[in-house]
Each structure stands twice: as C-alpha cells, then as structure tokens.
Structure 1
C-alpha cells in the first residue's frame, strides 16, 4: 500500500510522471570558471583543482626576494602553499586588488606540488565539452604555453570567449623563479 503512488499523493502514476522533470546527463567535463582583474574569464578543469579558498589578505604572508608574481604564502591546514597573482602571471597589467575582505585562491595540484592562484572572482562551475575546444590564433606568446584552447559560445544573449588553462604548465613554469 505504501509503495502505491496513489497512496502517497492521491495522484495517478501518469500525473506523477508529468510532474517530475527528466534529468539531463551533463556533456563534457566539469570546469571552474573565474575572472582575473582585467575582466578576462578563464577556466580550469575541476579534476586539477585541489580546492577553492577565500582567505583574508592578512593571512597571506609576503615573502622577500621572490618573483613579483607571488603574493606570498598561506597556511592551509598545516601545509604552506605559495599564492600567485594569476592575472599578472598571464601578462595582465592590472594587479589583483588585495584591499578587500577576502581573496579567491584556486589551489591547483600536480603530484606533490600545490600552488594557489589568486583571482578576482569565481564565476561558477560548468560542464563544458572539451571536444569543442578551439585553438585561438590571437594569443600572446607569453600565454600560449599555458593555454589548452578556448570555447566560443553565447550565454545570456552575449558572445563569450572562455579560455581553458593548463594548470600543470602553470605549476611547472620557470616564471616563478624570477
């Protein structure tokens, strides 16, 4: 009797079936969309992200004699990670504003190396089809080694160009040594 849908809702099975939406199977892979200070929107594959943090700026300790791209270090549950300004790393002239309540940091990991990438804001998680990635022709030479491709699509009736970054290339870059 309890297993009978008429008992549960007083409705027939046909009525219940019409009320439930069919779930769509997501296409592609899950990615994190975010913005750097210049306003450019970028993405990273969710599989390469360890976590997203939002520490207050005073918890990031500046370090002397390191690359100007590095904002400092941050202690995450007993592990010290470096935090970098991703926009400036990619050649933006606009630096990250650290005069605010929190800074969004995307912790990326490869093997045993973790790096925090500071960004302006987190946009959303989104399923994106990697089969539809295109290689852009108008990218600066300084960005090319860190780019997997880009998607061009419409969202809310406006064109969007979303570039996919390669977190392993960013982690392994010689730019951090400067």
Structure 2
C-alpha cells in the first residue's frame, strides 16, 4: 500500500476530484438544549465542564433543600448538586425524571460547580455573539440569568443565551 504511488500523492479512489475548502466557524461555540416547556437555551462552551447522561438513580435526593434541587451526583469522586434548570428559570413544567437518563450540564466557575438538568441536549453550534439582543418581554424570574437572545427562523423562534456564572452565584440556591 505504501509503495503505491497514489498513496503518496493522494490520488487514490477515496480522494474527491476537487478539494473542499474548510469553512472557518463564525462566532463562539455554544451548547444548545431544551427545558421541559420546550423553550430553547444556549450556554457558552467555555463555561461548561462536561455534559453527563445520568440514570435518575445516580442522582441522590437530599431532604430539606430547595425544591429546585433534584439531589446530588457523584462525578469521578466530586459530589455536585443537580438542579432542574427549567424550574430555576421560573418554568411551571417540572423535569420528567421518569426516564432512563437525564441530561445534566455541569457548569463551573472558579471553585463552584453545579449540574443543570435539562430535558434534551440539541448539540453544539457556532453562534455570533454580536447578533444577540435583549428581549423586552422577559419573565422577572429569568431576566437576571439571561445575556440576550438570537432570533431563529424569523421572529417565531428564539434561542436564549444564559449566563452560567449568574446561575451559579444566585441567592435562589439558599432558599
């Protein structure tokens, strides 16, 4: 195979007749996901420690804590709190935990880490931060944790950008 001249010149049968130009991504990398109500959100990839698909029985419920918290999860020896992100943002629909796996986004800032349980992970996307705007009709419970939103597919659909540091440092966790 190595002695084949086509191997060295890249003219094998797998080679496309013309080279495709690689597109350079525009904007910053973000993780897109849905909460229980179907609303779509994004978090900057730089603030995410990892994404975990955890069976519900790995999340240990803790009595006498905020109803926003589902419990704790052990991630390679580090115990973190897991919260229902939709409930935290004021959504009336609680996360369905009666399923085989729960999507948990572990966000981190300095020494603090928190698991945000969401309904479904959509994927990673390059988004232009210069194209966000602050919506005027935000619920009061969500406003402190939002950096802005992108209009997707016209005005019918929006993608809201969350501030993970504001979520981590919120006084709501003490309630």
TM-score norm. by structure 2 comes to 0.91
Shift in Å, 1:10: 7.1
**CA-to-partner distance for each residue in 1:56-100, whole Å, 9 max, x for gaps?**
000000001110000000000000000000000001110000000
How has the CA–CA distance of structure 1 residues 44 and 9 changed in structure 2, closer, same or farther, with 3 Å as cutoff? same
How has the CA–CA distance of structure 1 residues 9 and 94 changed in structure 2, closer, same or farther, with 3 Å as cutoff? same
User: Is 1:99 aligned to residue 121 of structure 2?
Assistant: no
User: Is 1:177 aligned to residue 166 of structure 2?
Assistant: no
How far apart, in 2, do the equivalents of 1:36 and 1:153 lie?
17
Unaligned 5+ runs, structure 2: none
For the residue of structure 1 that corresponds to 2:71, the secondary structure is: strand
How far apart, in 1, do the equivalents of 2:4 and 2:98 lie?
59
Instruction: Give the match for residue 126 of structure 1.
Output: 125
How has the CA–CA distance of structure 1 residues 10 and 143 changed in structure 2, closer, same or farther, with 3 Å as cutoff? closer
How has the CA–CA distance of structure 1 residues 17 and 113 changed in structure 2, closer, same or farther, with 3 Å as cutoff? same
User: Is 1:111 aligned to residue 113 of structure 2?
Assistant: no
Unaligned 5+ runs, structure 1: none
Instruction: Give the match for residue 9 of structure 1.
Output: 11
For the residue of structure 2 that corresponds to 1:145, the secondary structure is: helix
Instruction: Give the match for residue 68 of structure 1.
Output: 67
For the residue of structure 2 that corresponds to 1:118, the secondary structure is: strand
How far apart, in 2, do the equivalents of 1:170 and 1:84 lie?
11
TM-score norm. by structure 1 comes to 0.89
How far apart, in 2, do the equivalents of 1:46 and 1:7 lie?
38
How far apart, in 2, do the equivalents of 1:65 and 1:84 lie?
14
Q: CA RMSD in A?
A: 2.2
Instruction: Give the match for residue 44 of structure 2.
Output: 45
How far apart, in 2, do the equivalents of 1:86 and 1:10 lie?
51
